[in-house]
Amino acid sequence: MALSGLKVIEFAGLAPGPFAGLILADNGAEVIRVDRPSTPSLDVLCRGKKSVAINLNPKFPSGKAAMLRLIASADVLIDPYRPGVMERLGLGPDVFLGEKGINRRLVYARMVGFPRDGPHRDMAGHDINYLALSGVLSILPGKEAPQPPINLLADFAGGGLSCALGILLALIERGKSGRGQVVDTNMVAGSRYVSSFPLLSLLVPSSGMSRGDRGSRLLDGGAPFYGVYTCEDGRWMTVGCLEPQFFAIFIERFAKALPAEFSVGGWRPSAHDQFDRDEWPKMKEYITRGFALHPRDYWTKVFHGTDACVLPVLSPEEAASTPIPSPHPLARTWPVPGHDSLHLEPGEHTREVLRGIGLSDREISEHSLPEPHNPERINPLLHHHVHKGVHPRRSRKGPFILVSVVSPPLNPLQHNKPGDFWVAIDARVYDLSRFMNMHPGGVSVLLDPEVAGQDATEAFYSLHRAEVLDRPQYKRLQIGVIAGQKSVVAGHVPGQLSQVPYAEPSWLTSGYHSPYYSENHREFQKAVRKFVDEEIYPEAQIKEEDGTRVSQELVDKMAALNINAMRLGPGKHLKGLTLMNGLVKPEEFDYFHELILTQEITRCGARGYGDGLLSGMVIGLPPVLNFGSDELKARIVPEVFQGKKFISLAISEAHAGSDVMGLQTTAVKSEDGKEWIINGTKKWITNGVFSDYFTVGCKTEDGFTVILVERGPGVETKSIKTSYSPSAGTAYITFDNARAPVGNTLGEEGGGIFVMLSNFNHERWVMCCGSARSQRSVVEECLKWSAQRKAFGKPLNSLAVIRSKLAEMMTRAETTQNWLENITYQMNNMSYKQQAGKLAGPIGLLKAHCTSSAQETAKDAVQIFGGRGITRTGMGRYIEHYHRTIAFDALLGGAEDVLRDLAVRQALRVMPKNARL
Ligand SMILES: Cc1cc2nc3c(=O)[nH]c(=O)nc-3n(C[C@H](O)[C@H](O)[C@H](O)COP(=O)(O)OP(=O)(O)OC[C@H]3O[C@@H](n4cnc5c(N)ncnc54)[C@H](O)[C@@H]3O)c2cc1C
């Protein structure tokens, strides 16, 4: 991560300072918050940070000494106090950066509300006051008086974000000069700076931003086509069609969605009325009354997919699947090391951090540094909740379970106050006292008599996936184990095989045999699984949700092991490469190795991200390898394998999917005959959003030709929203007089159909590998769930109807894998040409079988999971995802029906003419 290795000392505060620290922590810096002892922290911006509680009271000189030592070892300090405070503590910039400074490389970031040298410097203030002095508040909307956008503008944009930017600039400068420096941020100036656009626009008399008084201008509620409107159900829609062409679309759609007779006293707006200010009152009334006729979701549908610039106002819950905002922009790899929580106990890391700077335990405790944890202190919020929720039967002292024999020994007396809440899950003891109020499922579930005061193992696993306890934010709540009890729940250990029946193909199941796999395949599988579990799986879960593409860091790691090259199967392209750290020799790499690689990657269970993980390369690069000129291959292939450049296959068009011959993108030669000039569009192109190269199917003078087009002038890509994650980078592409050298032709001019068709076998076979593996994962999920879910007092798997569904699923998983292995064996023993001739039909048939059986399995799995099967988070999250995205396979790489037909036609072609019944 960009800031790994940097140590940041953040003096505790609220809002802007912690936000600056959060940005640094999210990007890999070690951020240590300095808390005052015995002060509870209300800060929620503490993800990934550590806390030390150090007494800086002059009566405790050892506190200051420790602080100086800590800052002497730091790269950045964030000072959120009023002017003079740090100097009074003896920790001002001079101590570190001055002539005799003890850390002259320190970036000393200071953030104050009012300018340090102005008349308000010593006054208390808050966001609203800073905004007032910045001049920005006076131009903000609001009915009678202007209203601030809560505390976003001065505290976070003008304060925290500006401060973090200043720190980054100072770090760059330090890299050049070797010298630290002071970064000065004040929120008055910061608010002005982030408001440069409206403030500067006010200076331009003709600007819509400056015409009229506050409330009558373009963006502050004056213009009817830029505002928020209330719908019939009380929810809101935003309208922002500033440009005439967008306004015209808005007016047309809006009018169409209203009753034919709808008007304001016979008046209806037309596209020409947009900037006629005299018409604005009528227009506003028309739009206001119009929106009030239908609920928000109705309007959402009316405008979805158009350029009217009209979108619904979403609640925070609707806007994101998790209540916690993800870091943005993303320039790093998740997960953030350290804890991931809304709460950071003041002083939690005092010992760890101070030991890290060389203080002995004796120094830490003897020199009067206060103990970090004060067991007497109870968060007032929790206290309140517990008292409200306490069940009279449970305990006079609070809803706690008494765990008296724990290891390490904990003093049971620590656990006897209102607000104390310990829970035992699978022989482990968790202190939920502080967390219970943040429990996503609510406090009441925890106060249930089945949970509080009980061993909560069964209740926990009936509602949570085992992996939840592995998340750092929950792991840290564990305070001990119950002595003498053993954990009975088998958690997933990265790299290990599952012990659930049918969860692994038979060749990986203990006691079973296979003729296809060698010892080398087994070693290879182990190494790949470990890599996937440790490197790919964690990133996949996050990026599938946040929609961002695979990180460059991971691509680089894959490239280092030559995984990218191996995903194209055996062949000359592997020559000279070290595969998986030398685990398999290039000449020994076969299609079973590739099958293993694909199946292990599929286990990450994130379909959009999985496709984003360079599927475009898997289908787009083979035509270059097999049909490109030597010069082209030498240039393109290494940089794609090394993850420096990305490539997509661009065949499908809005007009031509299954019917490849119907494609309409044209390529004609330039006058000098040196270049292709390409015009047309392509649709659903995987990885297209971020690809540098496109293997494009084009119509040319004498048929079809495949051409490698580089991103450049005339090539535009736009993300297409599909039912899976945008991390796949699915694109709509426009070629508008795009140019490619004639040397980029792949195969013969006019011979494109052969190039495109010969590519299909490998693509389809790869998809079968993925499908067989993911069906198996569904079987594992269903077997686990039907064993742990109880209905009518019995596990689901005690019902014959459920067992029958499981039997069908297992059968489908086994048939696909076994058939796939047979075909893979044929591929290992056939030349590329023989494969093209003999396997197109069987692979097509296998793919159709895979995709239809996968859809059946998805349907059965949803049934078994019930409501959870359609719920994006929690127990059924894998099944919901699978069911939502499984239809994709039946379409891409050849639609199911088309492939069945192809297989039969291929078979008919070799029917002996004399065959008779
Ligand atoms: C997730 C995803 C990723 C994709 N990635 C790429 C990519 O990277 N590059 C790329 O070029 N394309 C890509 N595609 C496009 C994909 O190749 C096409 O969707 C596919 O070829 C089907 O074309 P179509 O969607 O236009 O369906 P159509 O061709 O319109 O077919 C619709 C349906 O009609 C039926 N049908 C059509 N013809 C026949 C026939 N002859 N016999 C029997 N039934 C028939 C089938 O049931 C078919 O599903 C992707 C698609 C998806 C969904």
List the one residue out of 578, 544, 543, 552 whose CA is nearest residue 563.
Answer: 578
Residue 400's pLDDT band, with cuts at 50, 70 and 90, is: very low
Q: How far apart are CA 683 and CA 656, in angstroms?
A: 9
- Tell me if the bond preceding 335 is cis, omega within 30° of 0: yes
Pocket test for ligand 1, best of 658, 687, 899 (most atoms within 8 A of CB): 658
| 367 among known catalytic residues | no
| 393 pLDDT higher than 50 | no
pLDDT at 338: 44
Atom of ligand 1 nearest to the CA of 620: 8
- Ligand 1 centroid, distance to 892 Cα (angstroms): 5
Supply the pLDDT for residue 474.
80
First and final CA of the chain: distance in angstroms?
Answer: 70
pLDDT over threshold 70, residue 379:
no
Active-site annotation holder among 126, 294, 383, 464: 126
Tell me how far apart the alpha carbons of residues 642 and 837 are, in angstroms, rounded to a whole number. 32
Most distant CA pair in the chain: distance in Å? 106
Compute the average pLDDT of residues 888-901.
Answer: 92
Domains and CATH numbers, the chain: 7-131+151-191 (3.40.50.10540), 378-482 (3.10.120.10), 495-603 (1.10.540), 614-750 (2.40.110.10), 757-909 (1.20.140.10)
Confidence of residue 414 (pLDDT cuts 50, 70, 90): low
As a whole-number percent, the residues of the chain with pLDDT over 70 amount to 91
3-class SS of residue 4:
coil
Query: What confidence score (pLDDT) does residue 366 get?
Result: 56
Residues 695 and 759: beta-carbon distance below 8 Å: no
* CA–CA separation, 902 and 8 (whole Å): 63
Please give the backbone phi and psi of residue 16, each rounded to the nearest 5 degrees, phi first.
Answer: -65, -45
Q: Is 660 helix (H, G, I), strand (E, B) or coil?
A: helix
Please state, for a pLDDT cut of 90, what percent of the chain lies above it.
69
750 CA to centre of ligand 1 in angstroms: 23
Q: Tell me the average pLDDT across 850-863.
A: 97
Residue whose CA lies nearest to ligand 1 atom number 45: 898
Confidence of residue 570 (pLDDT cuts 50, 70, 90): very high
Report the chain's mean pLDDT, rounded to a whole number. Answer: 88
Q: Whose CA is nearest to atom 12 of ligand 1?
A: 652
Ligand 1 atom closest to the CA of 890, numbered from 1: 49
pLDDT digit string, tens, across residues 272-289: 999 999 999 999 999 999
- Catalytic residue check, 220: no
Residue nearest to ligand 1 atom 52, measured at CA: 892
Split at pLDDT 50, 70, 90, the class of 504 is very high
Beta bridge partners of 647: 693
Task: Please state, in angstroms and rounded to a whole number, the distance separating the CA atoms of residues 63 and 363.
Answer: 10
Contact between 56 and 64 under an 8 Å Cβ cutoff? The reply is: yes
pLDDT confidence of residue 197: 94
- With a cut of 60, say whether residue 635 has pLDDT above it: yes
Q: What's the CA-to-centroid distance between 899 and ligand 1, angstroms? A: 11
> What pLDDT is attached to residue 423?
80
624, 633 Cβ separation under 8 angstroms: yes
**Would you state the pLDDT for residue 392?**
28
Phi-psi region of 835 (alpha: psi -120 to 50; beta: other; left: phi over 0): alpha
Beta strands 236-240 and 310-312 are antiparallel
CA of 658 to the centre of ligand 1 (A): 5
Look at residue 396 in the predicted model and tell me its pLDDT.
32
498-505, Cβ contacts within 8 angstroms, sequence gap of 24 or more:
498/780, 500/780, 500/783, 500/784, 501/783, 502/776, 502/779, 502/780, 502/783, 502/810, 502/813, 502/814, 503/776, 503/777, 503/779, 503/780, 503/783, 504/776, 505/599, 505/772, 505/776, 505/817
* CA–CA dist 590, 597 (Å, integer): 11
Measured in Å, residue 551 CA sits from the centre of ligand 1 at 29
Going by alpha carbons, the residue nearest to atom 37 of ligand 1 is 658
Closest atom of ligand 1 to 652 CA is 11
- Could you tell me if 421 and 436 are in contact, meaning their C-beta atoms sit under 8 angstroms apart? yes
Backbone angles phi, psi at 429, to 5 degrees: -110, 130
What's the average model confidence in pLDDT over 35-52?
Answer: 85
Q: Alpha-carbon distance 579 to 531, whole Å?
A: 13
Q: Is the pLDDT of residue 385 over 70?
A: no
Residues in Cβ contact with 71 at an 8 Å cutoff, skipping those fewer than 6 apart: 9, 77, 91, 96, 102, 103, 106
Nearest CA to ligand 1 atom 51: 892
Say how far residue 164 (Cα) sits from the centre of its chain.
23
Question: How far apart are alpha carbons 409 and 432 in whole angstroms?
Answer: 18
User: Pick the catalytic residue: 155, 340, 420, 889?
Assistant: 155
pLDDT per residue as tens digits for the range 448-458: 766 666 678 88
Helix (H) or strand (E) holding 33: strand 30-35
Residue 237: per-residue pLDDT: 98
Q: Residue 662 Cα, ligand 1 centroid: separation in angstroms?
A: 12
600 neighbors 525 (Cβ within 8 angstroms): yes
Residue closest via CA to ligand 1's atom 47 equals: 897
- pTM above 0.85? no
Q: What is the pLDDT of residue 655?
A: 85
**Antiparallel, parallel or unpaired: β 731-741 and 715-719:** antiparallel
Alpha carbon distance 765, 591 (integer Å): 10
46-69 pLDDT, tens per residue? 999 999 988 888 777 888 888 999
Instruction: Report the nearest atom of ligand 1 relative to the CA of 724.
Output: 1
Residue type, 847: K
Q: How far is the CA of 657 from the centre of ligand 1 (A)?
A: 4
Query: For position 453, what pLDDT does the model report?
Result: 63
Label residue 341 by pLDDT band (50, 70, 90).
low
Ligand 1 pocket, Cβ-based, cut-off 6 angstroms: 616, 648-652, 657-659, 684-686, 888, 891-892, 895, 897-898, 901
Q: Which of 684, 687, 709, 759 to mutate to test the pocket of ligand 1 (most atoms within 8 A of CB)?
A: 684
Q: Which atom of ligand 1 is nearest to the CA of 659?
A: 29
Tell which one of 695, 892, 896, 900 to mutate to probe ligand 1, the residue whose CB is within 8 A of the most ligand atoms.
892
* Predicted pLDDT at 390: 30
pLDDT at 492 over 80: no
Sign of CA dihedral 143, 149, 153, 157: negative
Atom of ligand 1 nearest to the CA of 722: 1
Closest Cα to atom 40, ligand 1: which residue? 898
The 10s digit of each residue's pLDDT in 750-785 is 999 989 888 899 999 999 999 999 999 999 999 999
Contact 217, 210 (CB under 8 A): yes
What pLDDT, on a 0 to 100 scale, did the predictor assign at position 354? 84
- Cβ-Cβ contacts under 8 Å for 144 (sequence gap 6 or more): none
Lookup result for tokens 């998790």: 322
- pLDDT at residue 478 greater than cutoff 50: yes
Q: Which atom of ligand 1 is nearest to the CA of 658?
A: 29
pLDDT digits (tens, 9 = 90+) for 184-217: 999 999 999 999 999 999 888 777 777 888 999 9
User: Can you tell me the distance from the alpha carbon of 766 to that of 624, in angstroms, rounded to the nearest whole number?
Assistant: 18
pLDDT of residue 145: 95
